[in-house]
Amino acid sequence: MLLCSLLFVAVTAAAPTSPLVVHEKRELPSLGTVKGSRVASDAILPVRIALTQSHLHEGYNHLMRVSHPHSPSYGQYWTIDEIHAEFAPSDEAVEAVKAWLEDAGLDRGGVAQSASRGWLAVDMSARDAERIFQTEYYEHVDAHGNVRVGCDKYHLPSHLSHHIDHVKPGVTLSGPLSKVVTETMKLPHFPRAADTSPKPPPNISATSLTDCGTWITPACIKALYNIPDAALNHPNNTLGVFEYGTPYNQLDLDLFFSHYAPWVPNGTHPTLASINNATAPGKPNVHGSGAVIDLDLLFSLTYPQMVTLYQVNGTQAQFATVGDFEFLLDAVDGAYCTEAERKSGADCGTTNLTNVLSTSYESYELAHTEAAAKRACYEYMKLGLKGHSVLFSGGDYGVAGSVIGTKAKPSNGCIDAQNVTDFTSNGTVFTTLFPASCPFVTVVGATQLVSLVSHLAGNCLRLFDQNPGQTVNDTESAMNIRAGSDPGLYSFTSGGGFSNYFPVTAYQEEAINTYFNTSNPGYATYGYNGSAKSIGANGGRYNRHGRGTPDVSANGAHLATFLTGEFFQAGAAGTSLSTPIFASIVNLINEARLGAGKGLVGFINPVIYAHPEAFHDMVNGSNPGCGTAGFKAVEGWDPITGLGTPDYPSLLKVFMGLP
């Protein structure tokens, strides 16, 4: 009788049990990897469980209170402690998940919680992980030898499903378990010329405006957007840039300064914020093309403002596969970090994020699961609540978003509506990029001045324009440069389009509705319903109800620059130019506001959409792709140039008029 009583007590005290349900199932492939062998049962997997956060449905409203120009709380930003307190999962959720793991045979003491309280982390064998999540784990290997782990579906107890966003590794792959450290980063946004023989730079002075239709320089950019010479450096004004892979080359920076920005002293360099033991600068004979171009522009437009470089250790190939910014988010606020990782020396909340951050990297939106993308997007919402301005490039392959595939089987980067899991075919459905599709970041498209001059550098056709040479007094067009022998496959154009995962938000709704009411592009559309099967339904080309990109634009064609000590004859091009240009403008506005005793501009989208008059509207050009002409630049907002290019005095007036 006593034994029966003890058994009864033990059973009633146990954690509640419930049927297992499929929590996530892979509908789209893990982009850039091939599914390989089953993971060894005794392999140790670093499992992270993303707990459902509290009050996220209020996140947008909270952000609008500090970001909307009509809000009485404009500029009253939150502290990180206030953010954690508002959005942390409930104690009930944390305890329920921990009890389940303990009930499954894991040591509760080995379950760590992140600083943001939003993640649980525990190391377990693949055998235990497969048993607990009722799944099978496989290796996923890319062409460069990087190995990640994931599964095609996994299960959770039904009573816990609403407490958990997603599990990693799962449908979302793990981080790289081995990596190729000798891989040279591919150019992220512009084609590289095959002709690498030394050539002298063109004979243009740092102040000349006569050749801006052929070669863009800082003087051209300042003239286009009426940007004044920078002279101030407020101690609270900070500007940063995110770089992944091969670091910048100081020789190339100095050559650029000497030729095109002599007001910046040679030797000027960014302050390094190393993440994952990254180093910078790099070797003189190895170019970090994306990093050099970002720094060329940021320094030349804002000096004496200093720049912080968030350099992440890794390669472009790895980034294209991982495609997220957990490294940076870990470093600036420990969003994905656990206490164990912190104690082990990982970069967890060890780095302060600058007021303005320029990022010229992105990945295919559909390379992420919807759960993982939304989880990351909310982290950008939190950065906005703290008063940060985060800018991302909008991509360089028009409505395709990015060119993917292999040399043996090239792809136009569009989605095959008949097989959305095949990213290597030449599809017809438009796509977009992430994090650009997140409505809590500012996305920058690209424009250009045009010229009759054509430069063929190797296999890269640098310029193929139809109009006579333009000057800074002419209206720009949407960037559209033919690159390669097949312009239908490789046109280098300003990215833009509509998200599948994120709907239109209120601050953008009027602009989007006006666009469709006055300039409907005429393509069939579909409505995304959370299933891959809805993508391309009924012959649709894009999600009619998605968040539109870009938000704004700036010049992105033919920057005169240097790589590995030589003038780059093909000319740098893409939204990797326009993004640091616009970030510099935001930084200069912050400088003016701080000097007047005001606060930072923070998340700028609600303000800029309320003041389209502060922009030069672009009405020329298109961004072809997917076998179509893409979208056309039209009056008002459009999905190729956004609101247009900035007029600095007008934009400054708008922000100086805010509290």
pLDDT of residue 203: 80
For residues 60-86, give the mean pLDDT: 97
* d(C-alpha 405, C-alpha 426), whole Å: 9
Dihedral of CA atoms 4, 7, 13, 17 in degrees, nearest 10, equals -120
Cβ–Cβ < 8 Å for 437, 550: no
* d(C-alpha 564, C-alpha 248), whole Å: 10
Cβ–Cβ < 8 Å for 188, 290: yes
pLDDT of residue 189: 35
SS3 60: helix
* d(C-alpha 157, C-alpha 100), whole Å: 9
17 pLDDT band (50/70/90 cuts)? low
Average pLDDT, the chain: 84
HSE of 456, CA atoms in CB hemisphere, 13 A: 4
Sign (positive/negative) of CA torsion 190, 193, 198, 204? negative
Question: In the block, which residue shows the tokens 């793990």?
Answer: 174
The model's pLDDT over 589-630, given as tens digits with 9 standing for 90+, comes to 999 999 999 999 999 999 999 999 999 999 999 999 888 999
Cβ–Cβ < 8 Å for 15, 103: yes
> In b/e form, how buried is each residue of 447-464, taking b as 16+ CB within 10 angstroms?
bbbbbeeebebeebbbbb
Listing DSSP states for 175-213 in one string gives PPSS--TTPPPPPSSSPPPS--S--PPPS--TT--TTTT
SS3 525: strand
Tell me whether strands 164-168 and 44-51 are parallel, antiparallel or unpaired.
antiparallel
* d(C-alpha 390, C-alpha 601), whole Å: 11
- pLDDT for residue 81 is more than 80: yes
Cβ–Cβ < 8 Å for 630, 412: no
* d(C-alpha 43, C-alpha 330), whole Å: 25
* d(C-alpha 61, C-alpha 343), whole Å: 36
Listing DSSP states for 354-407 in one string gives PSEEEE---EEGGGS-HHHHHHHHHHHHHHHHTT-EEEEE--SBGGG-S--B-S
For residues 1-9, give the mean pLDDT: 36
DSSP-derived letter for residue 114 is B
Which residues lie closer than 8 Å to 182 by C-beta, 6 or more apart? none
Dihedral of CA atoms 160, 346, 306, 219 in degrees, nearest 10, equals -70
- pLDDT for residue 550 is more than 50: yes
Which residues are paired to 241 by β-bridges? 309, 358
SS3 623: coil
377-391, 475-489, 503-517, range with the lowest pLDDT: 475-489
SS3 559: strand
The model's pLDDT over 284-318, given as tens digits with 9 standing for 90+, comes to 766 656 789 999 999 999 999 999 999 887 544 44
What's the full length of the chain, in residues? 659
State phi, psi for 609 to the nearest 5 degrees.
Answer: -70, -25
Which residues lie closer than 8 Å to 2 by C-beta, 6 or more apart? none
- pLDDT for residue 49 is more than 70: yes
Distance (Å) of CA 13 to CA 2, 8, 16, 90, 103? 17, 9, 9, 21, 11
More confident residue, 442 or 466: 442
pLDDT of residue 170: 94
Which residues lie closer than 8 Å to 99 by C-beta, 6 or more apart? 15
pLDDT of residue 184: 25
For residues 484-512, give the mean pLDDT: 84
* d(C-alpha 291, C-alpha 592), whole Å: 27
Which residues lie closer than 8 Å to 557 by C-beta, 6 or more apart? 216, 446, 447, 448, 449, 463, 479, 481, 571, 573, 577
pLDDT of residue 403: 58
Question: In the block, which residue shows the tokens 């309280």?
Answer: 117
Q: Determine how many CB atoms are found less than 10 A away from the CB of residue 147.
A: 18
- pLDDT for residue 560 is more than 80: yes
The model's pLDDT over 229-263, given as tens digits with 9 standing for 90+, comes to 999 999 999 999 998 877 899 999 999 999 999 99
pLDDT of residue 324: 46
* d(C-alpha 443, C-alpha 436), whole Å: 6
State phi, psi for 42 to the nearest 5 degrees.
Answer: -95, 5
What amino acid is encoded at 176 in this protein? P
The model's pLDDT over 167-202, given as tens digits with 9 standing for 90+, comes to 999 998 876 653 222 222 233 333 333 333 445 677
* d(C-alpha 387, C-alpha 356), whole Å: 9
